[in-house]
């Protein structure tokens, strides 16, 4: 068996399955977005850009767009902020490798949980009548707080769960990255009598700028798939306070009469945004790797 | 003196952080062994008479049992196919494809980042037309996007870490490319490859949106769990907690492996 045949046999099945499935779903989304197809009736016809034009006049779509943008902003900054803060804290206060490992293990647990499970765990704790958090709030004289039923709190409350899962995970990554940094610049700064926080703000964190930006972009793309968490915790409610784009597309495509074409137009939009973000990540990653 | 105080403060804060990370999960595990009257109390109870009723309810409920079975079939078949097709492809990309390798890797990784809803919506109609809507086969087929691409994505670096000398020496001895792959590269890279497969397993096991939209009746465990909020009149928190525990166990078994995967990838990434 020559090299060429081996490479072909190894690559072609995997790549052709992936390419077929990807092509079918993208071509399908474009095709359906140009029709007026619904799940209810078998008949449909070509309507051109009608679905896209209607999106522009759909206030619920713009609400979903706004919620998605807000969700991105809160979860990405929250996750990265928490990760940087905690990793510096652990780096400074925990020196024994054993304890560092214990903390890393504990911090990895939340991200491994299925989103559905994390959602239930926190719904249980947020519950106004029997949740632990409201019990603690009661001890200091607040509450009961309707974390998931109050429109002004619901999005933040769900975002806390996302940050709990990803912020702790990224803390472990940033800590591991800090451990691999060369010691010389840090020791030089210490000789100059720099304060602890100054060393991190001006020496270690700038050295990690590349990986931190990559992590932020990875989280940004990951945050776009928030469906599981929000679906189980609030279902998009109260009202439309937590309805992100993928939730709205799901409601349109499945629940509300199965308006497949309209939902396709929306998911295409999401696809374009994700692809652009992803291409930027890839290019940036190549640049830093070089 | 000030140092001692700040050190104690820091210790206390770290202990608190571990509680924040693990507390919610432990609280749910406790809840899974409680009767409803021990859950619905104004003051949370730490001491109570444990019961296995919640788990019994789950295992007796045919929907949940089916969900577990479907999850088992769908996840194992899709991960197995993903590994069988993805691992050789990753080896070919790491060692033999210099010219177009980057483009193929870009394509594979971009699939990892595709929003699931953009896959789900068109596939509903296509599956309805083909008559494979609500079948395990259909679900396995879309999961192949996730499993194959994730296995390739994580296995390419594993094969790149295999020392070139070994492969070149084997080739000099007259081994064909397939023999080099099967007898030398694969065993050397095996630990990292196992990590990649486990990671893929966790992703598919946790998946909700595609299962929810493409297999309404033949649903997997996350879908079933998401729908048991209202068994009967009261919210059955004990049963929900027990279902959550069952859902959580498989991924957590592999936490040590994920840690190892993280260690090697961070170190090789910085070189």
B142: closest CA of chain A, how far (Å) = 7
pLDDT of residue B115: 83
- The CATH number linked to A104 is 1.10.3720.10
Q: Helix (H, G, I), strand (E, B), or coil: what is residue A148?
A: coil
Residues of chain B numbered 178-237 and touching chain A (CB < 8 Å): 178, 181, 202, 205-206, 208-209, 212-213, 222, 225-226, 237
Question: Does A28 sit within 8 Å of B123, measured CB to CB?
Answer: yes
A152: closest CA of chain B, how far (Å) = 24
Residues of chain B numbered 24-63 and touching chain A (CB < 8 Å): 24-25, 27-28, 31, 39-44
Q: Give the domain ranges of chain B.
A: 2-32, 62-270
How far apart CA A137 and CA B163 sit, in angstroms, is 57
> Helix A260-289 to helix A209-223 angle, to the nearest 10 degrees?
170
Residue partners of B164: CB distance under 8 A and separation at least 6: none
Cα nearest neighbour of A164 on chain B:
B21
A131-135, A240-244, B258-262: lowest mean pLDDT where?
A: B258-262
Query: In this structure, is residue A187 part of a structural domain?
Result: yes
Give the count of domains, chain A: 1
What Rg, from alpha-carbon coordinates, does chain B have?
A: 23
Mean pLDDT of chain A: 84
pLDDT of residue B1: 54
pLDDT of residue B78: 94
Query: In this structure, is residue A1 part of a structural domain?
Result: no
Question: Does B248 sit within 8 Å of A117, measured CB to CB?
Answer: yes
Q: Which residue stretches of chain B are H helix?
A: 2-32, 36-39, 53-60, 62-95, 101-112, 116-130, 136-160, 164-172, 177-179, 186-206, 209-214, 221-227, 237-253, 255-270
Decide if A114 contacts B205 (C-beta within 8 A). Answer: yes
Nearest to B240 among A120, A275, A282 (CB): A120
- Give CATH superfamily name and number for B62-270: MetI-like (1.10.3720.10)
Closest CA to A79 of A172, A180, A194, A198: A172
Q: What is the pLDDT of residues B194-232, one digit of tens each?
A: 888 888 888 888 888 888 888 877 888 888 888 776 554
Q: Is B131 left (phi over 0), alpha (psi -120 to 50) or beta?
A: left
Contact residues on chain A for B113, CB-CB shorter than 8 A: 221, 274, 277-278
Beta bridge partners of A46: A35
Residue B71 has pLDDT above 70, yes or no: yes
How far apart CA B246 and CA A89 sit, in angstroms, is 34
Residue B162 has pLDDT above 90, yes or no: no
Domain limits at A170? 34-289
B163: closest CA of chain A, how far (Å) = 19
Residue B191 has pLDDT above 90, yes or no: no
Decide if B146 contacts A18 (C-beta within 8 A). Answer: no
pLDDT of residue B271: 40
Residue B18 has pLDDT above 80, yes or no: yes
Q: Helix (H, G, I), strand (E, B), or coil: what is residue A43?
A: coil
Nearest to B115 among A18, A172, A270 (CB): A270
Decide if B183 contacts B126 (C-beta within 8 A). Answer: no
Question: Does B111 sit within 8 Å of A132, measured CB to CB?
Answer: no
How far apart CA B154 and CA B201 sit, in angstroms, is 13
Contact residues on chain B for A164, CB-CB shorter than 8 A: 20-21, 24
ipTM of the complex: 0.81
- pLDDT class of A76 with cuts at 50, 70, 90: very high
Average pLDDT estimate for B8-25: 84
User: Dmax over Cα atoms in chain B, in whole Å?
Assistant: 75
């Amino acid at each position: 068996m020559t090299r060429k045949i081996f490479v072909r046999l190894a690559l072609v099945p995997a790549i052709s399955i992936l390419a077929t499935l990807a092509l079918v779903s993208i071509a399908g989304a474009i095709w359906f977005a140009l029709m007026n197809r619904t799940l209810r009736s078998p008949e449909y016809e070509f309507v051109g850009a009608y679905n896209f034009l209607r999106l522009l006049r759909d206030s619920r779509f713009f609400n979903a767009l706004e919620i998605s943008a807000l969700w991105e902003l809160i979860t990405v900054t929250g996750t990265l902020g928490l990760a940087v803060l905690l990793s510096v804290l652990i780096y400074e206060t925990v020196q024994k490798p054993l304890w560092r490992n214990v903390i890393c293990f504990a911090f990895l647990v939340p991200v491994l949980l299925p989103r559905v499970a994390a959602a239930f765990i926190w719904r249980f704790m947020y519950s106004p009548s029997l949740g632990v958090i409201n019990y603690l709030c009661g001890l200091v004289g607040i509450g009961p707080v309707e974390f998931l039923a109050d429109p002004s709190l619901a999005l933040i409350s769900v975002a806390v769960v996302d940050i709990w899962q990803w912020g702790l995970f990224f803390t472990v990554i940033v800590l591991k990255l800090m451990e691999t940094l060369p010691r010389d610049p840090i020791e030089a700064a210490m000789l100059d009598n720099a304060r602890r926080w100054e060393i991190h703000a001006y020496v270690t964190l700038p050295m990690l700028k590349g990986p931190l930006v990559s992590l932020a972009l990875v989280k940004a793309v990951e945050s776009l798939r928030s469906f599981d968490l929000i679906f189980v915790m609030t279902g998009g409610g109260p009202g439309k306070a937590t309805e992100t784009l993928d939730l709205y597309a799901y409601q349109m495509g499945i629940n509300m009469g199965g308006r497949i074409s309209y939902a396709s137009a929306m998911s295409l939009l999401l696809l374009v945004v994700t692809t652009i973000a992803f291409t930027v990540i890839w290019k940036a990653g190549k640049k830093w790797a070089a | 003196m000030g140092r001692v105080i700040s050190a104690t403060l820091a210790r206390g804060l770290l202990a608190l952080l571990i509680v924040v990370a693990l507390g919610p999960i432990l609280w749910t595990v406790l809840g899974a062994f409680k009767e409803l009257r021990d859950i619905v109390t104004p003051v949370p109870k730490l001491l109570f008479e444990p019961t296995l009723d919640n788990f019994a309810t789950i295992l007796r409920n045919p929907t949940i049992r089916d969900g577990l079975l479907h999850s088992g079939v769908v996840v194992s078949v899709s991960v197995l196919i993903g590994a069988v097709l993805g691992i050789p492809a990753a080896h070919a990309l790491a060692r033999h494809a210099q010219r177009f390798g980057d483009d193929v890797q870009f394509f594979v990784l971009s699939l990892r980042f595709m929003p699931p809803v953009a896959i789900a919506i068109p596939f509903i109609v296509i599956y309805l037309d083909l008559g494979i809507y609500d079948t395990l086969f259909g679900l396995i087929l879309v999961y192949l996007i996730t499993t194959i691409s994730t296995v390739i994505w994580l296995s390419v670096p594993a094969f790149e870490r295999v020392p070139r000398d070994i492969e070149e020496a084997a080739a000099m001895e007259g081994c064909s490319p397939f023999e080099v792959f099967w007898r030398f590269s694969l065993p050397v890279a095996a630990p990292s490859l196992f990590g990649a497969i486990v990671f893929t397993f966790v992703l598919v096991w946790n998946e909700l949106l595609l299962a929810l939209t493409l297999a309404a009746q033949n649903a997997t465990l996350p879908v079933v769990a998401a729908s048991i909020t209202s068994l009967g009149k009261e919210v059955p928190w004990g049963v929900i907690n027990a279902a959550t525990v069952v859902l959580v166990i498989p991924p957590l078994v592999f936490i040590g492996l994920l840690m190892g995967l993280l260690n090697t990838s961070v170190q090789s990434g910085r070189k």
